[in-house]
Copies of this chain bind each other. A is one copy, B any other.
Protein backbone atom coordinates (compact mmCIF):
# COMPACT_ATOMS: atom_id res chain seq x y z
CA UNK A 1 0.00 0.00 0.00
CA UNK A 2 1.65 3.18 -1.15
CA UNK A 3 -0.42 6.21 -0.25
CA UNK A 4 -3.96 7.52 0.18
CA UNK A 5 -4.89 8.48 -3.38
CA UNK A 6 -8.25 10.07 -2.73
CA UNK A 7 -11.27 10.17 -0.46
CA UNK A 8 -14.66 9.43 -2.05
CA UNK A 9 -17.56 11.54 -0.78
CA UNK A 10 -21.14 10.46 -1.53
CA UNK A 11 -23.35 13.33 -2.72
CA UNK A 12 -26.91 13.29 -4.02
CA UNK A 13 -26.51 16.12 -6.55
CA UNK A 14 -23.11 16.63 -8.16
CA UNK A 15 -23.70 20.21 -9.38
CA UNK A 16 -24.97 21.36 -6.00
CA UNK A 17 -22.12 19.67 -4.14
CA UNK A 18 -19.60 21.15 -6.58
CA UNK A 19 -20.69 24.67 -5.73
CA UNK A 20 -19.68 24.03 -2.12
CA UNK A 21 -16.49 22.06 -2.76
CA UNK A 22 -15.16 24.14 -5.68
CA UNK A 23 -15.27 27.19 -3.39
CA UNK A 24 -13.93 25.39 -0.32
CA UNK A 25 -11.00 23.78 -2.12
CA UNK A 26 -10.34 26.63 -4.56
CA UNK A 27 -9.93 24.01 -7.31
CA UNK A 28 -11.75 22.74 -10.41
CA UNK A 29 -12.41 19.00 -10.66
CA UNK A 30 -12.25 16.53 -13.53
CA UNK A 31 -15.80 15.17 -14.08
CA UNK A 32 -16.20 11.63 -15.35
CA UNK A 33 -18.81 8.86 -15.66
CA UNK A 34 -17.83 5.50 -14.16
CA UNK A 35 -20.28 2.98 -15.64
CA UNK A 36 -19.03 0.00 -13.57
CA UNK A 37 -20.20 1.79 -10.40
CA UNK A 38 -23.18 3.60 -11.98
CA UNK A 39 -21.81 6.93 -10.75
CA UNK A 40 -20.50 10.28 -11.95
CA UNK A 41 -17.40 11.55 -10.18
CA UNK A 42 -15.78 14.95 -9.75
CA UNK A 43 -12.13 14.57 -8.76
CA UNK A 44 -10.14 17.54 -7.44
CA UNK A 45 -6.35 17.76 -7.77
CA UNK A 46 -6.05 17.65 -3.94
CA UNK A 47 -7.58 14.15 -3.77
CA UNK A 48 -11.21 14.84 -2.89
CA UNK A 49 -13.60 12.88 -5.15
CA UNK A 50 -17.33 13.64 -5.15
CA UNK A 51 -19.41 10.61 -6.17
CA UNK A 52 -23.04 10.97 -7.30
CA UNK A 53 -25.32 8.06 -8.24
CA UNK A 54 -26.48 7.77 -11.84
CA UNK A 55 -29.01 5.03 -11.04
CA UNK A 56 -31.06 3.87 -8.03
CA UNK A 57 -29.07 0.61 -8.26
CA UNK A 58 -25.77 2.39 -7.66
CA UNK A 59 -24.05 1.48 -4.36
CA UNK A 60 -23.97 5.24 -3.72
CA UNK A 61 -27.79 5.44 -3.85
CA UNK A 62 -27.98 2.81 -1.14
CA UNK A 63 -25.32 4.57 0.93
CA UNK A 64 -27.15 7.92 0.68
CA UNK A 65 -30.48 6.33 1.65
CA UNK A 66 -28.93 4.68 4.70
CA UNK A 67 -26.36 7.22 5.90
CA UNK A 68 -26.91 10.48 4.05
CA UNK A 69 -24.07 12.36 2.35
CA UNK A 70 -20.56 11.92 3.71
CA UNK A 71 -17.30 10.05 3.25
CA UNK A 72 -18.02 6.83 1.38
CA UNK A 73 -14.58 5.29 0.85
CA UNK A 74 -10.84 5.83 1.00
CA UNK A 75 -8.69 4.80 -1.95
CA UNK A 76 -5.12 3.58 -1.60
CA UNK A 77 -2.75 3.66 -4.56
CA UNK A 78 -0.84 0.42 -5.09
CA UNK A 79 1.84 -0.67 -7.54
CA UNK A 80 0.47 -4.17 -8.17
CA UNK A 81 -3.25 -4.59 -7.47
CA UNK A 82 -3.37 -8.31 -8.31
CA UNK A 83 -0.48 -8.94 -5.95
CA UNK A 84 -2.09 -6.91 -3.15
CA UNK A 85 -5.44 -8.68 -3.57
CA UNK A 86 -3.69 -12.06 -3.36
CA UNK A 87 -1.77 -10.96 -0.24
CA UNK A 88 -4.97 -9.68 1.43
CA UNK A 89 -6.95 -12.81 0.56
CA UNK A 90 -4.21 -15.00 2.06
CA UNK A 91 -4.61 -13.00 5.29
CA UNK A 92 -8.36 -13.59 5.41
CA UNK A 93 -9.38 -10.08 4.32
CA UNK A 94 -12.76 -10.26 2.55
CA UNK A 95 -12.93 -8.70 -0.93
CA UNK A 96 -15.86 -7.13 -2.76
CA UNK A 97 -14.01 -7.43 -6.08
CA UNK A 98 -12.02 -10.65 -6.34
CA UNK A 99 -10.52 -9.28 -9.56
CA UNK A 100 -9.93 -5.61 -10.45
CA UNK A 101 -12.61 -3.65 -12.34
CA UNK A 102 -12.23 -0.44 -14.36
CA UNK A 103 -12.52 2.65 -12.15
CA UNK A 104 -12.21 6.41 -12.70
CA UNK A 105 -9.49 7.24 -15.21
CA UNK A 106 -9.81 3.71 -16.63
CA UNK A 107 -7.43 2.42 -13.93
CA UNK A 108 -7.82 -1.02 -12.31
CA UNK A 109 -9.61 -0.77 -8.93
CA UNK A 110 -10.99 -3.19 -6.35
CA UNK A 111 -13.02 -2.73 -3.18
CA UNK A 112 -12.45 -4.64 0.04
CA UNK A 113 -15.33 -5.54 2.36
CA UNK A 114 -15.64 -2.79 5.02
CA UNK A 115 -13.01 -3.04 7.77
CA UNK A 116 -13.92 -1.40 11.09
CA UNK A 117 -16.64 0.59 9.36
CA UNK A 118 -14.30 1.73 6.56
CA UNK A 119 -14.74 0.93 2.86
CA UNK A 120 -11.28 0.67 1.25
CA UNK A 121 -10.66 0.80 -2.50
CA UNK A 122 -7.33 -0.16 -4.06
CA UNK A 123 -6.23 1.53 -7.28
CA UNK A 124 -3.29 0.46 -9.40
CA UNK A 125 -1.51 3.62 -10.42
CA UNK A 126 1.79 4.28 -12.07
CA UNK A 127 4.25 6.21 -9.88
**Interface set of A (CB-CB < 8 Å, partner B):** 1-4, 6-7, 9, 11, 17, 20-21, 23-27, 44, 46-48, 67-71, 74, 76, 87-88, 91, 93, 112, 115-118, 120
Contacts and interface: CB of A to CB of B under 8 A. Distances in A.
B117 A4 contact: no
> Chain A interface mostly helix, strand, loop or mixed?
mixed
A1 B17 contact: no
A69 B117 contact: yes
B46 A115 contact: no
A115 B126 CA distance: 32
Given A23-B91, A76-B46, A91-B23, A71 B1 contact: no
Contacts of A21: 115-116
A116 B69 contact: yes
